Amino acid sequence: MSLLQIQKLVAGYGAVDILNGVDIAVEPGKISVIVGPNGAGKSTAMKALFGLAQVREGRVLFQGDDVTRLPADKLVARGIAYVPQERNVFRSLSVRENLEMGAFLKPGDIARRIEAVLALFPPLREKLKQAAGELSGGQRQMVAMGRALMLEPRLLMLDEPTAGLSPLYMDQIFDRIVAINQSGVGVLLVEQNAKQALAIGHLGYVLATGRNRFTDSAANLLANREVAESFLGG
Amino acid sequence: MAALSDFINLYLLPGLVVGCIYALGAIGISLLFGILRFAHFAHGDMMTLGAYLAIIFTASLGWSPYAALPIAVVGTAIVALALDRAFYKPFRRSAGIVTVIASFGVMLMLRSAIQLIWGVDVKTYDIGIRFPMEFGMLKIAPRQVTIVLVTAALVVALHLFLSRTRLGKAMRAVSDDPDLARVSGINVEQVVRWTWIIGAGLAAAGGVFIGIQTKVHPNMGWDLLLPLFAAAVLGGIGRPYGAVAGGLAIGLCQELATYPWFSDQPFVAPGYKPAVAFSVMVIMLIWRPTGLFRGRVF
Amino acid sequence: MDIFSAGFLNYLIALGTMSGIYAVLCLGLNLQWGFAGLFNAGIAAFFAIGAYAAAILTTPESPNHLGGFGLPVVAAWPVAMLLSGALAWAIGRICLKVQGDYLAMATIGIAEVIRLVIKNEEWLTAGTRGISNIARPFEALPTPWNALAFLGLVAALVAGIYWAAERAWASPWGRALRAIRDSDVAAAAIGKDVTQFRLEAFVLGAMVMALAGALSAHYFKFLGTTATEPMMVTFLVWVMLIVGGSGNNRGAILGAALIWVIWSATELLTNRLPGEWITRTSYIRVLLIGLLLQIVLQRFGKGLLPERPPRMIDDRPKSG
């Protein structure tokens, strides 16, 4: 059984549909990557799942249960964590408080989980008392991912985690995604840096104009000449 | 020296006391704006309600208003939760300004309910006459000391709540970014409930203090609204510590403006005290609409 | 009650006149809220400025207040409207650049300050004693023609403002305002000067409100501090517009008439109650009007006559 199955999803904002019947799956403990040109609706599926875009048709199964239109806190309680692309930290809260907010639903034993996050993102250790809004983009991304990991989710959804980062940070973040995945967390990754993302992924989805264009193993997509020419920048 | 003692006893100290009362009301306006993103027009009437709830116990049971204060706080918080459920919750997903209209309606409903239950006459808590304590040239009434100390204690308690507790931090998180709070799994409705409890509770305490300091009447909520908004704007709306500073500043400005600074006449006629609050608000809106404390985190 | 009696006729004329004055206020508020989405919590300020300006400019000299200008009524009205418009311009310049809630708070403030000035500056307004002997147009005519003629004047003004507001609604100006109201970011993106458009709507609305104030001063022939009463002036007008349908000029007029009839008919009924109950029931009426506002907001958010796109677009032949 897939960890996450998005079936025939039609979703959008206001009266405008962005996704016109999209299928996406994440297998337990694997990484699925969504790539595609700007405006293809890559992020919309995640946003729709968390109620930030409207689901018009289709459904979402998590571990076989229908979770379409569940409120966000229920999704988080089931083990789905989501890191939005922008505004993904509480700017005026300290780094430690950001992590604590990730654990809002399960307040006990926070210290151990913060330690686990710090082990994954060592640069955060000395920033714990600093306001998250004062950090650099890369460090903020670490705080955001750390916050999402605080509830020890089964599925981590990342919306363009490397957008706007320097190459150095970019590599670090991809490296951490692999590390998180190796601890058994399924990952759904939306990325602009398609080649790098497919290189660490298992399943790949190419979306264009709100529909599935190509669906294959990530390795096959990387090898596919048509995909490479049209979507991976040659 | 007589002039200085008058300045302190008749202007500075009363200004401080009024400032404390404004601060208690403005905290709620600021918190509610931060969490629910609307200017709560019925907040002055929450203070009125607190003051009248205390009257039940002072008038019929002969309690001291200080003893009635906790009950007034709890009662007002419960009413606020009920009002939120009935009149504000349906608009959570609508534009904030529709909620402002709803709060405008709640304001009138609260006031007319108070007039219906308690009548329109001015009422006082029967505290009896206590002579002021004299410290050299200072004359301080015991109630002034109590009001300032209790306000300070409440502000410290609020600070500890916001900085140390899980719910307090969640409140700051929701104020920072409601969407992110929701997707992080924070129970936003629970945070909203506690915002009402704290905001309305502090407002009720401020209302009881007004009764202790002077008198209680059904329209006092309306008279309070302007200084409360001015205090919240001055402190940077959405920032409770700013609201405390703003409340104190507005209270002091209003009282000190009536001091005969340049002649033997009051600089501003006492009847125009609310205009002082309005002037401060307008100056802030022109000069720095984000408030004095925009850089601070709350 | 004999429906043909003179008393009942007078009551009907009074009902119509007051409905008309409230309709003018409502049309003014619709310019601000319905057209432009601006929340004005200080309608009383602009109403009072219009009323006091008209009263002071037209009354004979009096030791109680400023006066003796002896202006004819028609000359006083434009001055009253200009004064109110100037105040709205000043407050709008300060508040319209920032978020909507600030305008709401500032308008509460301006209404309070105007109320204080009227109460305290006796040389100007006679304070709580009020201004009396204000002339009413057509009062030289025999009864009931004098009252009927004034009602006609009010009705003509309502019709004129309605006509102008409808034209404005269908004009590019009205379209731009609606675009700004619905999304100021989008409107700014297509090159509209958002603040300027809002300021124009706010000032025009305030001028219409001042005209209502002037009409009311002449109608009652007396003007006191009740003209600044937030309940009767600001709040009731909001209920009228929300119930009638904001964004719809007919809705504004319908709401004004309907709520005023309910308001004054219930007063007529409760006044027959025994003494102590008269005051009590007046609070119950306010409570119920507040509840009515909440119910309409929640269940019928668009009001009795919902906003429609202007006729221009409606009349296009429908394809398909």
Give the integer Cα–Cα distance in Å for B246 and B292.
9
Is the per-residue pLDDT at A234 higher than 60? no
Structure confidence by residue, pLDDT tens digits, A58-78: 999 999 999 999 999 899 999
- If one counts every other C-beta atom within 10 angstroms of the C-beta of residue C271, the result is 11
State the pLDDT confidence band at A98, using cuts at 50, 70 and 90.
Answer: very high
User: Tokens 């604590």, residue?
Assistant: A100
β-strand pairing of A211-217 with A203-208: antiparallel
Does B109 reach chain C within 8 Å, measured CB to CB?
Answer: yes
Mean pLDDT of A83-96: 94
Look at residue C317 and tell me if it is in a domain: no
- With cut-offs at 50, 70 and 90, classify the pLDDT of residue A41: confident
**Which residue from C306, C36, C308, C310 is spatially nearest to C181, judged by alpha carbons?**
C36
Q: Please tell me the predicted confidence (pLDDT) of residue B236.
A: 86
**Interchain contact, B173 vs A93, CB within 8 Å:** yes
Closest partner residue to A73 (CB to CB) among B176, B185, B298 is B185
**pLDDT of B82-95, one tens digit each?**
999 999 999 998 87
Query: Given this model, what pLDDT does residue A207 score?
Result: 92
Average pLDDT over every residue of C80-86: 97
Per-residue pLDDT reduced to its tens digit, B129-161: 677 888 888 888 889 999 999 999 999 999 999
Output the CA–CA distances (angstroms, integers) from residue C259 to B230, C70, C151, C241, C290, in the order listed: 33, 36, 18, 9, 12
Give the minimum alpha-carbon distance from B165 to chain C in angstroms, rounded to a whole number: 30
Indicate if the pLDDT at residue C2 is higher than 60: no
- Mean pLDDT over each residue of chain C, to the nearest integer: 89
Give yes or no for a contact between C306 and C245, defined as CB atoms under 8 angstroms apart: yes
How confident is the model at residue B294, as a pLDDT? 58
Rounded to the nearest 5 percent, the helix, strand and coil shares of chain B are: 75, 5, 25
Number of domains making up chain C: 1
Find the range with the poorest average confidence among A83-92, A150-159, B158-167, C1-10: C1-10
Check B225 against C94: CB less than 8 A apart.
Answer: no
pLDDT at C185: 77
Residues from chain A that touch B177, judged by Cβ atoms under 8 A, are 87, 90-91
What pLDDT is stored for residue C317 in this prediction?
Answer: 46
In a domain, C258, yes or no: no
Q: What are the tens digits of pLDDT across the range B160-195?
A: 999 999 999 999 999 999 999 999 999 999 999 999
> What is the pLDDT at residue C319?
43
Residue A24 near residue A6 (C-beta atoms within 8 A): yes
What does the block give as tokens for B294? 């925009």
Confidence of residue C314 (pLDDT cuts 50, 70, 90): very low
Distance in Å, alpha carbon of C167 to nearest chain B alpha carbon: 27
Q: Using a CB-CB distance cutoff of 8 angstroms, which residues of chain A are in contact with residue B182? A: 50-51, 72-73
Query: What pLDDT score does C3 carry?
Result: 55
Q: How many other CB atoms are found less than 10 A from the CB of residue B211?
A: 27
Asked whether residue C114 is assigned to any structural domain, the reply reads yes
Binned at pLDDT 50, 70 and 90, residue B1 comes out as very low
Alpha-carbon separation of residue A218 from A35, A195, C192, C223, C292 (angstroms): 11, 9, 47, 81, 60
More confident residue, A231 or C149: C149
Please report which confidence band the pLDDT of residue C62 belongs to, taking 50, 70 and 90 as the band edges. Answer: confident
Classify residue C90: in a domain, yes or no. yes
Q: How far is A229 from chain B (nearest CA, A)?
A: 36
Interval B229-263: pLDDT, tens: 999 999 988 889 999 999 999 999 999 999 988 88
Q: What is the pLDDT of residues C256-293, one digit of tens each?
A: 999 999 999 888 888 888 877 787 888 898 999 999 99
Q: Report, as an integer, the average pLDDT of B61-65.
A: 90
- With beta carbons under 8 A apart, name residues in chain B contacting C104: 39, 41, 97, 100
Nearest to B268 by CA among B283, B280, B286: B280
C113 and B102: CB-CB below 8 Å? no
Residue C316 has pLDDT above 50, yes or no: no
Cβ proximity of B51 and B208 under 8 Å: yes
Cα C278 to its chain centre, rounded Å, is 27
DSSP state string for C140-171:
TSPTTHHHHHHHHHHHHHHHHHHHHHHHHHHS
What domains are defined for chain B? 2-118+136-287 (1.10.3470)
Does the structure's ipTM exceed the value 0.90?
yes
**Distance in Å, alpha carbon of C9 to nearest chain B alpha carbon:** 32
In a domain, C119, yes or no: yes
Q: Is the pLDDT of residue C313 over 60?
A: no
> Is the pLDDT at A90 greater than 70, yes or no?
yes
CA neighbor of C203 nearest in space, from C124, C283, C91: C91
Tell me the C-alpha distance between A120 and A227, whole Å: 33
Q: What share of chain A is helix, strand, coil (3-state, %, to 5)?
A: 40, 30, 35
Q: Can you give the residue range of the structural domain that contains C65?
A: 12-228
DSSP A116-154: HHHHH-GGGGGGTTSBGGGS-HHHHHHHHHHHHHTT--S
Q: Is residue C163 part of a domain?
A: yes
Q: Which of B98, B109, B229 sits opposite C287 (nearest CB)?
A: B109
Per-residue confidence band for A159, with pLDDT thresholds at 50, 70 and 90 = very high
pLDDT at C182: 86
A81 forms bridges with which residues in the sheet? A156
Place of tokens 């104030």: C213
For the stretch C125-139, pLDDT in tens is 988 889 988 989 998
B105: contact with C, CB 8 A cutoff: yes
Can you tell me the distance from the alpha carbon of C18 to that of C12, in angstroms, rounded to the nearest whole number?
Answer: 10
Task: Give residue B2's pLDDT band: very low, low, confident or very high (50, 70, 90).
Answer: low
